[in-house]
Amino acid sequence: MTTSTPGPETKPEACSAPINPTDKPLPSQNARQLLKDLQEKFPVFRDSQPLAIGIDKQLMARLPGLERKPLRIALGIHTHSLRYLKASEKAATRVDLDGQPAGEITSEQRQHASELVKERLKKQAEQRKMQREAEAQARQHAAKLGKLVEKFGRST
């Protein structure tokens, strides 16, 4: 029985291509780029104005070839952003792609946006508090270690 060592042709090589087998970016990556493009093309996106119900249909009609899944993800990212929720909380009307009024925002919708804003701000405050506590604990730990090294460290 003979054993052979692997030659250069059998060595695994580093792959810089995406893991996705179709070599297409994931829909969420497409969606983020799509959202940037929409913000450049339409001021209503850039200014985070409350969008008309069914804005996705308007976008599909204006931008042929637009894929539905990345569009829906991009709209989700946009409409769940803190800036958009704050604008929806204060606005009375929705707008279409041209910035023209396209329906009103009900008090229930404004209330919902307000609740989401409060939840998001509360969550961010809790995260900042936890981070400050972790940093303080790390400083205390480092100080204790420093004292121990000072006390028990070898003098040369």
Position 13 scores a pLDDT of 45
Q: Say which DSSP state 20 is in.
A: S
Phi and psi at residue 102, in whole multiples of 5°? -145, 50
Position 155 scores a pLDDT of 62
Position 11 scores a pLDDT of 44
Query: How many angstroms separate the most distant Cα atoms in the chain?
Result: 82
Phi and psi at residue 118, in whole multiples of 5°? -60, -45
Q: Which residues pair with 101 in a beta bridge?
A: 95
The residues, any chain, with a CB within 8 Å of residue 93's CB and separated by 6 or more, are 50, 101, 102, 103, 104, 105
Token pair listed for 88: 């929806």
**Under-50 pLDDT residues of the chain:** 4, 7-23
Position 98 scores a pLDDT of 87
Question: Radius of gyration over alpha carbons of the chain, in Å?
Answer: 27
The residues, any chain, with a CB within 8 Å of residue 132's CB and separated by 6 or more, are none
Position 141 scores a pLDDT of 95
**Number of residues in the chain:** 156
80-91 pLDDT, tens digit per residue, is 999 999 999 888
Token pair listed for 152: 């028990």
